[in-house]
Amino acid sequence: MSSFPAFNHYALTVSNLQRSIEWYERLFDSPPVAVNDQDNYRAAMWFEPMFALHENQHQLEGDVFDEFRIGLDHIAFGCASREELESWPARLDALGIKHGEILDRSYGAGLAFRDPDNIQLEFFLPIGS
């Protein structure tokens, strides 16, 4: 049996595609490689990282992300070194993105922040990296 395949991409449902595109463009420092704007399916996607945003017509009015409900808790972007992780607070500050402090845990260190829909994101360095 072959090994379990690596993650290919993440796709998040957002409340306002244009607002989220603008926010993630700043975070990723690049525009999406494709934007699909059809009647009932609006989406944007990046290849670095492999990441997509979806907006659909079936969302609940006023609904916001909550990691305490069933489903997604957060998405973590991997850092290769402590120096890389420690560079992110200043970059997020420059982008006007609120964030927490770097937290060290027994399994690694992380820096949490949120997108416009309150979706929790993190820069993460596993222990031993």
Fold annotation for 8-57: 3.30.720
Return the biggest CA–CA distance within the chain.
47
The tens digit of pLDDT for each residue in 36-88 reads: 988 778 999 999 999 999 997 776 677 777 877 878 899 999 999 999 999 99
Q: Where are the domains of the chain?
A: 8-57, 73-129
What CATH number matches the domain at 73-129, 3.40.50.11540, 3.10.180.10, 3.30.70.1070, 3.30.70.2860? 3.10.180.10
Look at the pTM and tell me if it is higher than 0.75.
Answer: yes
φ, ψ dihedrals at 82, nearest 5°: -65, -40
Q: Which amino acid is at 15?
A: S
Task: Report pLDDT digits (tens) over 78-108.
Answer: 999 999 999 999 999 999 999 999 999 999 9
The single-letter code of the amino acid at 73 is D
